[in-house]
Structure 1
């Protein structure tokens, strides 16, 4: 009996020792983690950038800047203020001036510095167009999410909130903005129309009108949204056909515009002295100017032909 008790106690001791060895202990918190968090001091460049942004914001306070307005930055999806974007453009102008000054001369540097605001405007236009195209491609999935939320018994605002949570950017950002504006007391139709105007999307106008008509006369909004979705998908298919048919004309226009520059570059590389008269004689300058004018007219003409409205 005593032997059995001793064996049981020995096995229990061995088990406790094994548990103590195998189970990891409570990790000790390092001393530096137990101290209050101390943020690293800002670098001189960060302090200079912050002061520059604050100065620009004071200058822009109460003024409306049309070139890089807040709406342009919002449509491009940039989380930057006007002052921050102006500082970036100014920094780009300085870099362009230095590169032109070192590479060619002061005139080229000055030209690059002058072109920096136009480059900034082109970047904003490109980002805005890309964001609108992405929003347009996500519109069918957004309608499916809205219709599914309504069939599940949610209200319109709750369905829009669910679509904002499940969608990707930029649809999630725009839907969340609609929810925020309506929670602050704005009318839902006005918020949806502003979204359609901001994204320049005619199909979204139909969605806003369908929601507004349903709020006024009632009915099954989910079925209406399904029908709108079907119409939008058919329109998207027609857009794809038109783009495919117009792609040949666009490619031909690009080749015709690039061909004179390619020929001049080839002649300069094969025989550098062959084009000297064109760049030294007054008649050569006249011919170059006339060529640019005619190429501009031809480019605008071809753009008018291949830019189809639908």
Structure 2
């Protein structure tokens, strides 16, 4: 029985994808190899993001799904020569870690915005009880998410028998934020030295609110500069579109000849460097 062209392509594609997947699996199963070590490091980095975001999936599972997707895209690219599969492979390789990193940074920024509110709640709770652990546990139901989720994990560690200082340090390592680590260190130091923790937390919350206000003022003042950078960076593309619309053969010498392509590449490199430099100048940190 003879197969049609479309069925033959599907059969070859399935065999190629299966063979590449089996070869990748066998290479990853080699203990101590370069691929195995690289896979473990990459899976651990993904697992850090997944555990911080409280996701059900683990890093190793996402890494295997990425590898299978990239292998399938490369196999289909070799069979069909279509650039669509190259684009799909690139997306499968880059998108998951980038999206996890963006969500991680967004969660950290949200936790930092809620920190002053939690410190004020904790200071008020300490006026009613002298136990720091009980005061922290009472703020779980009051502070909004995602800070309540992190505090809930801290309270669960305390209920499992972990010392308060160790649970606070674990929270600091998990969030990995300079602002939050400084506030948590203040709690530990004030608790160990016997200072007025309630008043210390109130002062820390007021300082955080003032820093947030100054950062908002600075962001407003530099918004005009960032807008100018965006406009200047988009001007070359707008001019190229207008010129190509007026005369479609205007850019032919640059696209056909090697010297023209070299000049075009040099211009793109200079544009990228100038845009990055201008963005770095316009972005002022508090």
Which range, TM-score by smaller chain? 0.7 to 0.9
Unaligned runs of 5+ in 2: 1-24
Higher relative contact order structure (alpha carbons within 8 Å, sequence separation ≥ 6)? 2
Pairing partner for 1:159 from 135, 147, 167:
135
Does structure 2 conserve the Cα–Cα contact (< 8 Å) formed by 1:132 and 1:199? yes
Matched, 1:215 2:191: yes
Does structure 2 conserve the Cα–Cα contact (< 8 Å) formed by 1:97 and 1:108? no
Rounded to whole Å, the distance in 2 between the matches of 1:160 and 1:269 is: 64
Which residue of 2 is the match for residue 175 of structure 1? 151
Map 1:259-274 onto structure 2 (within 5 A): 259-274=235-250
Rounded to whole Å, the distance in 2 between the matches of 1:112 and 1:216 is: 55
Partner deviation per Cα, 1:220-258 (whole Å, 9 max, x = no partner)? 211111011111111111111111122222222222222
Which of the two has higher C-alpha Rg?
1
TM-score, normalised on structure 1? 0.69
Map 1:34-49 onto structure 2 (within 5 A): none
Rounded to whole Å, the distance in 2 between the matches of 1:286 and 1:305 is: 29
Which residue of 2 is the match for residue 201 of structure 1? 177
Pairing partner for 2:214 from 238, 241, 254:
238
Secondary structure of 1:273's match?
coil
Which residue of 2 is the match for residue 292 of structure 1? 268
Aligned residues: 255
Pairing partner for 1:81 from 58, 61, 64:
58
Change over 3 Å in CA distance of 1:267–1:226 after alignment to 2 = same
Map 1:109-148 onto structure 2 (within 5 A): 109-148=85-124
What is the deviation of 1:189? Answer: 3.2
Map 1:20-35 onto structure 2 (within 5 A): none
Secondary structure of 2:284's match?
coil
What is the deviation of 1:94? Answer: 7.9
Secondary structure of 1:300's match?
helix
What is the deviation of 1:112? Answer: 3.8
Rounded to whole Å, the distance in 1 between the matches of 2:243 and 2:202 is: 60
Change over 3 Å in CA distance of 1:233–1:110 after alignment to 2 = same
Rounded to whole Å, the distance in 2 between the matches of 1:66 and 1:118 is: 12
Change over 3 Å in CA distance of 1:70–1:231 after alignment to 2 = same
Partner deviation per Cα, 1:284-309 (whole Å, 9 max, x = no partner)? 21122101211221122123212333
Rounded to whole Å, the distance in 2 between the matches of 1:87 and 1:289 is: 37
Change over 3 Å in CA distance of 1:168–1:59 after alignment to 2 = farther
Map 1:63-102 onto structure 2 (within 5 A): 64-66=40-42, 68-86=45-63, 89=66, 93=70
Rounded to whole Å, the distance in 1 between the matches of 2:187 and 2:258 is: 66
What is the deviation of 1:90? Answer: 5.2
Deviates more, 1:245-254 or 1:231-240: 245-254
Unaligned runs of 5+ in 1: 1-54
TM-score, normalised on structure 2? 0.74
Does structure 2 conserve the Cα–Cα contact (< 8 Å) formed by 1:143 and 1:229? yes
